Structure 1
Amino acid sequence: MASPVPAETAAAGYVEREYAAAGTATAYRADGGLTSEGRWTFEAASTAPYRTRIVVRRPAADADFSGTAVVEWLNVSSGQDADVVWANNHEEITRRGHAWVGVSAQLIGVQGGPVLASTVEGATARGLVGTDPERYDSLVHPGDGFAFDLFTQAARAVRAGTLLGGLVPRLVLAAGQSQSAYALVTYINGVEPLVRRLFDGYLLHSRGLGALNLAAPGQPAGLHELEATSPKLIRVDTAAPVLIVQAEGDLTHVLNSLGSRQDDTQTVRTWEVAGAAHADRHTIGPFADLLGCGVDVNDAPMHVVVKAALRALETWVRDGTPPATSPRIETSGGEVVRDADGIALGGIRTPPVDVPVDVLSGVPGPNPSVICQLFGSTIALPAERVAALYSSRDEYLARFEAATGRLIAAGFALPEERDALLGHAQPDRIG
């Protein structure tokens, strides 16, 4: 599985297991189409057999299980399954004792196909089957139109305890990032009314403008399709709460999610994080310097806010306490409004954005490749500007620590992440 964050399950008191899951999946058609307001009516279209891969990470000791399971729709934009939700949340998942389940839901992850986000134009991937045929040759995926029911069946096995070694969760949360968030938009709007509270809540990290299409049998879904490139809201009558977490870079550029921005409701909330990119140095780890984007990629602590979002969603579905209300990033004419330094105004503001020595933003570097367009930028403020902002290192650190405290107090970062946030301070940059 593609991940810059090693699972290190044993060190966290966790075990990892890999399973083959087989059955018959249903594809859907939309009666009335995939309309912009999200109130869709799905009905069964066809069925096909499948055999896919599921990865489970759970506490080794049953007594350490929190009762919450996070089911991730694995991301295939790189051409192989990537556990992006795990990469952003593994500290929160393991310290809380949650179970994590990664589902190989899409055709490309299982059997290969065209790569959406690559530094090589026209790249293709081999999928699990082509990468390790000895291990995965028995896997069969009937196409992404069946992925939604495949995900449902995996969740039912989680809720029954079948995939968790007999552990039966009290809460089951669905989560997905980027292309997987597109998929969850489709799932919430069309499938959730059919399965009603199979999932207790949904965490959508970095959704785009639209939703994943209902692909024809044998075909992958495409983010170039009309359904993905036209505005699609989350239906406001969903039975389970939905928390959407958007980076500044998601609003414009490749994802253009600004066109699907919606007001908060009793069941749908949105957090917007200023200075953050769709993907960043934390997402890709040591490979960030190999992308060749012509600029340092974004290094905002987006993952800290995402961990707070997971905790907020868990609290919301457990006791009804809604998440904090996020200020929105300021926009005008479809563009992000910025201050004189180029830093976005409004939104959730992490300490390195509020007390800057760099301009952190979703604005990409000069490389026009799709992957570089997603990674934003980190551009150092001129030394003279830094000197004008801070009279001393002590002043800088005091302001940085105060910004950290404000973020935690507002509910957009967890107290457990204080040291991680303070680690983004750069007092050596102050003369």
Structure 2
Amino acid sequence: MSLPTADHVPGLPTLLLNAFEPSSIGYSIDEYFLSGRAVSAASADEADYVTRIVVLMPDARAFNGTVLVEWLNVSGGIDAPAIWRMASREITRSGFGYVAVSAQRVGVEGGASLLGADMSLKTQNLQRYSRLNHPGDAYAYDIFTQVGRLLKSGALDTVAPTSVLAIGESQSAMFLTTYVNEIDRDAAVYDGFLVHSRFGNAAPLDGRSPIESTEPAPYRDDLRVPVMTVITETDLLDGRVLGYHRARRPDGQRCRTWEIAGAAHADNYVIRAGFVDSGSLSAGDLAAAFAPTRQLLGTELSYFINFGPQHHYVLQAALAGLDAWVRTGEPAPSAELLQLTDDDPPALVTDAHGLARGGVRTPWVEVPVARTSGTAPDESPMSFLFGSGEVFPTDTLTRLYPGGRAEYLDAFTLSLDAAIAAGHLLAADRAEIVELAGLGFPA
């Protein structure tokens, strides 16, 4: 139960956050090297480790008392702050503290990744990170536990939380699923979990790739603390990875799952808008960042990737809902599940416009001007994750909204207010969403 040693490292850390400096949004940034001894989750073996965390904190007067601890995503061969990128507007607006953890070996030492790239810390900056030593992903679970204990102890001068929430997306979500099922009841460190875009399986305890696991991994019945899971259409369906539909379970006392209609695992916000969305952008600039594109990581696709804004905004509501749940004990809202066919494997049940039925309903699918989906042709190593989108032709828009933009905005706003009332979108985002809708209506 000993705490790791934390050494502050001067200078800017290697972490691809945004195109703007944290100081411009009122946040400090500090990096620490943590050294200790971790236990393998698959055996009684112990090993020394040295990894790093990056701490972003608001001014003490703005801090809301909750620290988010993100298990950094290494699927691209680099430590990626996926949830920070998707939800930093809500994180900074509400005054959360944020800690990024280099939990896995690939992010520190390098190794196999989805893109085949090695952008590990040692590859990018060996001089700064030569001290780091990661013994392997079987030890990642204990390292992550020790980070939580360190933060709760108050040993870092920059952090004094009242609650600590674990967050992670995609591959990191698969590790958090295993953490929730196998580690959390004994570790009893984190006060809640945001599991973002997990699939049907989970990471093995022995450190092998989650892709190698083919068994469904539903959450255990006796969850210790609230677990909020956000799922897109991509995550739900079988593909390169087992679909989440195989691990579905009903909401319970400590479990909520939101399946977002019209959303993909990744989208325009991830690769464009999230880099520049500091909260000070004009609606016009933000709308331009959401504009349909066929460009994906240097590849020209034959179709638009998913450009619907709903994923970003619903994730922000889920984060706020989990925090309120932990603070007050009042569970976050539930949501309808996405509808699936009876086929094996199943497909989405869609309406006349090709939009999914069921799930978290937002105005982008209730009052649509485009079809956005979590499914896509497989035209590049990453394209299957980015879904697809298609703006409706003019005759369809005229038929749906004969009164033009004004009629569309009236219906959109009614749907938006219903989603806010349901807790699936935030009132703080309302004005921006309405303005984006007006700019997004085809001329």
Alignment of 1:339-378 (within 5 A): 339-367=351-379, 369-378=380-389
Please state how far the C-alpha of 1:166 moved relative to its aligned partner.
4.9
> Partner residue of 2:49?
50
User: Between the two proteins, what is the percent identity of the paired residues?
Assistant: 40
Structure 1 residue 273: Cα displacement:
0.4
Q: Matched residues in 1 for 2:20 and 2:325: separation?
A: 27
Question: 1: CA distance between counterparts of 2:147 and 2:216?
Answer: 29
Name the count of aligned residue pairs. Answer: 402
Q: What SS is found at the alignment partner of 1:341? A: coil
Contact 2:17 2:84 in 1 (8 A): no
Residue of structure 2 in register with 1:322 after alignment: 331
Who is 2:81 aligned against?
A: 83
Query: Which shows bigger deviation, 246-255 or 386-395?
Result: 246-255
CA distance in 2, matches of 1:2, 1:400: 38
CA 1:393–1:63 in structure 2 vs 1: closer, same or farther (change >3 Å)?
A: closer
Q: In the TM superposition, what is the alpha-carbon distance from 1:190 to its structure 2 partner?
A: 0.8
Please give the secondary structure, in 1, of the residue aligned with 2:98.
strand
| Equivalent in 285, 296, 311 of residue 304 of structure 2 | 296
The alpha-carbon deviation at position 235 of structure 1 amounts to 0.9
Displacement after TM superposition at 1:7 (Å): 5.7
Q: Structure 1 residue 62: deviation in Å?
A: 2.1
Change (3 A) 1:103 1:125: same
1:391-410 maps to which residues of 2 (within 5 A)? 391=402, 392-410=404-422
Cα distance, 1:285 vs. partner?
A: 1.3
Q: Is contact 2:296–2:383 with CA below 8 Å preserved after alignment? A: no
Give runs of aligned pairs for residues 202-281 of structure 1, distance below 5 A: 202-215=193-206, 221-226=208-213, 229-252=214-237, 253-255=239-241, 256-281=243-268
* TM superposition shift of 1:109: 0.3
Q: 1:309 to 1:284 in 2, by over 3 A?
A: same
- Unaligned runs of 5+ residues in structure 1 are 30-43
Q: Note closer, same or farther for the CA distance 1:133–1:243 as it changes in structure 2 (3 Å cut).
A: same
CA displacement at 1:209 relative to structure 2:
1.0
- For 1:384, give the aligned amino acid: D
SS of match in other structure, 2:249 = coil
For 1:3 and 1:373, how far apart are their aligned partners in 2? 23
| Structure 1 pair 277–233 and aligned structure 2 pair: CA distance change class (3 A) | same
| Cα distance in 1 between the residues matched to 2:408 and 2:316 | 26
Aligned to 1:38: none
For residue 408 of structure 1, report the CA deviation from its aligned partner.
Answer: 0.8
Residue in 1 aligned with 2:183?
191
Q: By how many angstroms is 1:251 displaced?
A: 0.8
Deviation readout 1:373-399 (Å, 9 max, x if unpaired): 000011111221111111122101111
Query: Partners in 2 of 1:414 and 1:105 — Cα distance?
Result: 31
Counterpart-to-counterpart distance in 2, 1:4 and 1:380: 30
CA distance in 2, matches of 1:341, 1:429: 17
**Paired position in structure 2 for 1:308:** 317
**Alpha-carbon distance between aligned partners in 1 of 2:266 and 2:427, rounded to the nearest angstrom:** 24
- For 2:63 and 2:178, the matched residues in 1 are separated by 30
Tell me by how many angstroms 1:315 deviates.
0.9
Contact 2:71–2:101 (Cα < 8 Å) also in 1: yes
| Between 78-87 and 277-286, the greater mean CA deviation after superposition | 277-286
Q: Which amino acid aligns with 1:294?
A: S
Q: Normalising by the residue count of structure 1, what TM-score does the alignment of the two structures yield?
A: 0.89
State how far apart, in whole Å, the 2-side matches of 1:4 and 1:166 are. 19
Superposition deviation, residue 341 in structure 1: 1.4
Instruction: Determine the structure 1 residue equivalent to 2:172.
Output: 180
Amino acid at match of 2:164: V
Q: Deviations over 1:201-229 (max 9, x none)?
A: 0000101111111235xxxx313212xx2
Contact 2:41–2:206 at 8 Å: present in 1 too? no
Q: Are the equivalent residues in 1 in contact too, given 2:17–2:81 (CA < 8 A)?
A: no
TM-score, structure 2 as length reference? 0.87
**For 1:64, what is the secondary structure of its paired residue?**
coil
Kept in 2, the 8 Å contact 1:4–1:284? The answer is no
Does structure 2 retain, via aligned residues, the 8 Å contact 1:51–1:138?
A: yes
Letter in 2 for 1:94: T
- The residue matched to 1:63 in structure 2 has which SS? coil
Q: Is the 8 A contact 1:236 1:268 kept in 2?
A: no
Compared with structure 1, are the counterparts of its residues 299 and 428 closer, same or farther at alpha carbon in structure 2 (3 Å cutoff)?
A: closer
C-alpha deviation, 1:365, in angstroms: 3.2
> Contact conserved, 1:254 with 1:370, CA < 8 A, in 2?
no
Note the alpha carbon deviations across 1:141-165, whole angstroms, 9 max, x for none. 10000000010111111111223x2
1:102 is aligned, of 85, 100, 109, to 100
Q: 1:27 aligned to 40, 43, 52, which one?
A: 40
State the AA in 1 paired with 2:400. L
Alignment-mate amino acid for residue 26 of structure 1: V
* Counterpart check, 1:143 vs 2:136: yes
Find the counterpart in structure 2 of residue 34 from structure 1.
Answer: none
CA contact (8 A) 2:76 2:117 kept: no
Shift of 1:115: 1.4
Q: Map 1:51-66 to 2 at 5 A.
A: 51-59=50-58, 61-66=59-64
Task: Give the whole-Å Cα distance in 1 for the aligned partners of 2:246 and 2:83.
Answer: 24
Cα distance in structure 2, aligned partners of 1:152 and 1:48? 15
Q: Does 1:115 align with 2:113?
A: yes
> What is the deviation of 1:428?
6.6
3-state SS of paired residue (1:125): coil
